[in-house]
A and B are shown apart, each in its own frame.
Chain A
């Protein structure tokens, strides 16, 4: 990527942070908190998600059969089904049906995907978006910034200004109430005039031809009732087998999206509907003659179905939980994520599938792989993995030569097209090894002005970031000289402490502390020489390199595991590799055995204490005031509670943060195009740690990235929590 491209990206992000960031942040926060609260009330939340997932897997597996079935059912009901190969095909059909008549529409992202409004208007129809957010965007001539709440980037003041300028009402509109009332009346006339009602569908049941529409405003109902031709546009993946299958989705979709237990209206239409419609003479006339057209859109979906990596995307019910729980999305909104139609979270998968990888390319890096969305997805899609796969494909699609500058530093498995910046961060292990070997000289050189500006220009490493300082003596070397301290005969347990690249070369202090704490609890610790986990290359979309690293790590740790020892991991992002991504990178048995025997360090301490280790061997916290930020991936694995419990049991007084991510996210915060966004995200965490109640607390954080971010943004120096337990 050129300096110019990076600068352009940085400018675009800065602009959005300034103009849309506040509205987006405020609104996504409501959805995100709402989801946590609303799903917590569901006793069988996990079971419902599994059920929903199973229904989707089955439906996509049997899709051709279900398409056939739904076609027969809808036709038997008196409607028509059209399978559109692509957008042009769909638009041709829809414009023929509309035939120049006026159209009222309810919200449908699929109709945005095919850009049907433009086609309809070109053929002489007046088209009105009746969902209020879509109406705002239609008036403003802007693109959606969120799949569920498309005008999430607009504040009330901006909407009022827009309406007052555009409609020039007698009395200027001001409150949300006034704006809503105005739009309702304005669109009320459009409902009466229109003859065609266009809706999307959240689900279509094959057995009965029923459309399920999840809405709150009531406009979709009016679109159907007030017109005499109903056109429903839906992706083919929306078909599920039976009406009963709707139940888990109805319970999950509102909670997962806007955080409502259920939205105001879940409309189940089995068209053509026979509600009285509006006649030409403004009477309510018989709805018996209502026509119904179901337009099922392929537009790349059948190919996605054949694609082992992208297939999961088709299970998506477009609830928006993945966007709402994304720290980057919360701060900058969908307009930053690029994409022709879909933006944020799973959108990369959709864009790659329906518009091609190019459309997904530009801001695909905004997914940092923090994994906070993973547990939020009602159909258990591994969204970060989809983002990684698409990134890998984008990397491979580009050809290019390795630059001499980084050649020696990038002994990876990737083709020449990978961006230099990605290569640098993806090969962190090699960099760290060299940095350590030449420390402190390498640190001085790297931090020096000329080197920093060269790095910024060639590699996009932002010079406002402090670089990690490499230790001359790695943890592995230190341990080799020192040796294990607990006699295996007397040890409570034996463990291999995994020396992740940061703990090994940069933050050796926390590795030494972890070793001493474990030894204090009578654990015999060994530190095998094992390389980088693959997290670094994976986050750059370098899947082949990640896989080769994973295999090496497995080989290094396998002897300990075979001997019945446990593996203890200090860095949560590496433990998350072992527990999540290795499933895709290692043979199944290897993955399972490593997963079952590996633990986050304080999770392990917790287990030791629960199983009889003496807590008095650890220091007394003596009510020391602590502010703790758990790591994003650690929280996805539900491991935050162990650190909290251990610290509290030891007598510390702990407050925790509740932001989704610190914003640093490995290499993300170093990249000059994303530096400002990274800082903006980090500030939210800083706000939580500078309240009256937290400003004087000692700050601890489990992740390396979080420590770097907090170190940069706070005046207090943060440390890993294990250091509190080290005497």
Chain B
């Protein structure tokens, strides 16, 4: 993958108020730990040789979910042009872990950063046809303007951080 989509991804993320943190398989844990505020919840990561530290509860109850400060999940892919990540929820609980905590940390493989919406929908269509039940195109934190001014953090996270596995 050329560096270009990643650079675009980074600047698009910045525009929607999301920090991009670059790391590698080896450095993943040491990169993630300072990003965590506890209590933290999460869903198991699908990347080989990459796992969540013990501090991240992967089987939370309702109370733990609502109290969570950080939620760590993988994101299926990123869209460089928009600064979006695709959250593919399933039985492992990516959906609640990415939705209830104050901050969502989304882990994306470098090779999964797609240039634009066209490329994204080609891939989405393929995934949906092979049974992916859910794909949330998430861009920045949840937000609302319904209370008379723009507020970051409505029903979902207040903050989003993307951790990029550059060697994956």
Contacts and interface: CB of A to CB of B under 8 A. Distances in A.
A183 B146 CA distance: 11
A185 to B, nearest CB: 9
Contacts of A267: 134-137
Interface stretch (A217-225, A317-325, A387-395, A563-571): A217-225
Contacts of A30: 145
Interface in A135-180: 136, 149, 151, 154-159, 175-177, 179-180
Contacts of A18: none
Contact of A149 (B84, B129, B146, B153): B146
B132 A270 contact: yes
Contacts of A219: 154-155
Given A132-B154, A221-B156, A263-B139, A275 B134 contact: yes
B54 interface: no
Nearest to B132: A270
A275 B62 contact: no
Given A283-B62, A284-B60, A276 B151 contact: no
Interface stretch (B2-10, B32-40, B86-94): B86-94
A432 to B, nearest CB: 47
B21 interface: no
A192 B65 CA distance: 11
A175 B153 CA distance: 14
24 contacts: A156-B147, A156-B148, A176-B149, A176-B150, A177-B151, A180-B151, A218-B99, A218-B154, A221-B95, A221-B99, A221-B136, A221-B155, A242-B125, A247-B118, A250-B137, A261-B139, A264-B141, A265-B142, A269-B133, A270-B133, A273-B89, A273-B134, A274-B91, A275-B134
B136 A265 contact: yes
Contact of A288 (B91, B147, B154): B91
A284 B82 contact: no
A132 B137 contact: no
Interface in A216-267: 216-219, 221-222, 225, 242-244, 246-247, 250-251, 258, 261-267
A278 B63 CA distance: 11
A351 to B, nearest CB: 24
Contacts of B45: none
Contact of B66 (A151, A188, A270): A188
A268 interface: yes
A214 to B, nearest CB: 10
A284 B61 CA distance: 5
Contacts of B117: 247, 250-251
Given A180-B153, A222-B155, A250-B137, A154 B148 contact: yes
B42 interface: no
A287 interface: yes
Given A208-B129, A216-B154, A217-B154, A287 B91 contact: yes
A222 B142 CA distance: 12
A283 B89 CA distance: 18
B156 A274 contact: no
A344 interface: no
A158 B149 CA distance: 12
Given A243-B121, A243-B125, A264 B91 contact: no
A159 B125 CA distance: 42
B128 A217 contact: no
Interface in A257-311: 258, 261-276, 278, 282-284, 286-288
Interface in A182-234: 183-184, 187-188, 192, 207-208, 210, 216-219, 221-222, 225
Interface string B93-125: 111100100000000000000000110111011
A292 to B, nearest CB: 10
A268 B124 contact: yes
A131 interface: yes
Nearest to B15: A261
A594 B155 CA distance: 56
Contacts of A288: 91
A667 interface: no
B93 A159 contact: no
B55 interface: no
Given A157-B148, A266-B137, A268-B136, A225 B95 contact: yes
Contacts of B135: 267-268
A133 interface: yes
B26 interface: no
Nearest to A251: B117
A154 B148 CA distance: 7
Contacts of B89: 225, 273, 275
B138 interface: yes
A130 interface: yes
Contact of A217 (B90, B95, B125, B143): B143
Contacts of A263: 139
A263 B122 CA distance: 20
B91 A275 contact: yes
A72 to B, nearest CB: 15
B139 to A, nearest CB: 5
Contacts of B66: 188
A157 to B, nearest CB: 7
Interface string A458-489: 00000000000000000000000000000000
B59 interface: yes
Contacts of B96: 225, 275-276, 284
A217 B149 CA distance: 14
Contacts of A272: 133
A159 B151 CA distance: 14
Nearest to B100: A222
Given A133-B146, A264-B138, A184 B90 contact: no
B140 interface: yes
B144 A243 contact: no
Interface string B48-73: 00000000000111110110000000
Closest 8 CB pairs of A and B: A156-B148, A218-B156, A217-B154, A176-B149, A133-B146, A132-B146, A275-B95, A218-B155
Interface in A109-146: 130-133, 136
Contact of B99 (A175, A187, A222, A258): A222
A216 B142 CA distance: 6
A179 B84 CA distance: 28
A608 to B, nearest CB: 43
Contacts of A270: 128, 132-134
Given A275-B90, A288-B91, A180 B121 contact: no
B100 to A, nearest CB: 8
A262 to B, nearest CB: 5
Contact of A159 (B95, B118, B142, B147): B147
Interface string B7-25: 0000000000000000000
A275 B139 CA distance: 20
A132 B142 CA distance: 12
